[in-house]
Copies of this chain bind each other. A is one copy, B any other.
Amino acid sequence: MVKKEIRVIGIDDSPFDKFNDKKILVVGVVMRGGSWVDGILSTRVVVDGDDSTKKIAEMINKCKFKPQLQCVFLDGIAVGGFNIIDVKELSKKTKLPVIVVIRRKPNIKNIKKTLIKINKKQKIKLIEKAGNVIQVDDIFVQLTGIDLEEAKKILKIVCTRSLIPEPIRLAHLIAQGVIFGESRGRA
């Protein structure tokens, strides 16, 4: 049984100007179930850098809600361009299951090609480590530290207002709103 009030965190990054911004804002929204916002966290990561796993793990581990947190939601596995999150490592560091949510099935072939082109070939293994892409209703997920049945139960609770988990939708709106002055588009 998954409790209606299960405490989860959803994470998304802000838009950025790849020619001028060195660091970007990453926002975490801690919610109880899919409706009550308990707190807002943030950190900054280097555009196209390698610090996302460490920075996001620190943000989660030092927050006051950590003892109650039961699941991490990521909006894809990269923040700030190609600052790819090592999902297995993030799960290990936080001792929490991680559910990566993807809206459209990613073209892994193209992403790998780009990584080779920009000399980030070593990041390909991080993509592979994130696990199989599984369709759940109208979205896709990659699961670490949690099985599909359990993940589906949690998704049912947190996807209150749209296809994607509410903490990810809010993290997206906040990251956009704070940087652009107004939130737009979808997570």
Contact = CB atoms under 8 A, between A and B. Distances in A.
Interface of A: 25, 27-28, 35-37, 39-43, 59, 62-64, 161, 170, 173-174, 176-178, 181-184
A27 B178 contact: yes
A135 B151 CA distance: 46
Contact of A178 (B42, B64, B181, B183): B42
Contacts of A174: 40, 174, 178
Nearest to A25: B178
A25 B145 CA distance: 38
**How many copies of this chain sit in the oligomeric assembly?**
2
A97 to B, nearest CB: 22
B36 A173 contact: no
Contacts of A62: 182
A12 to B, nearest CB: 12
B181 A37 contact: no
A183 B35 contact: no
Given A40-B176, A62-B182, A64-B182, 6 more contacts: A27-B177, A27-B178, A42-B181, A43-B181, A63-B182, A174-B178
Contacts of A25: 178
Contacts of A64: 182, 184
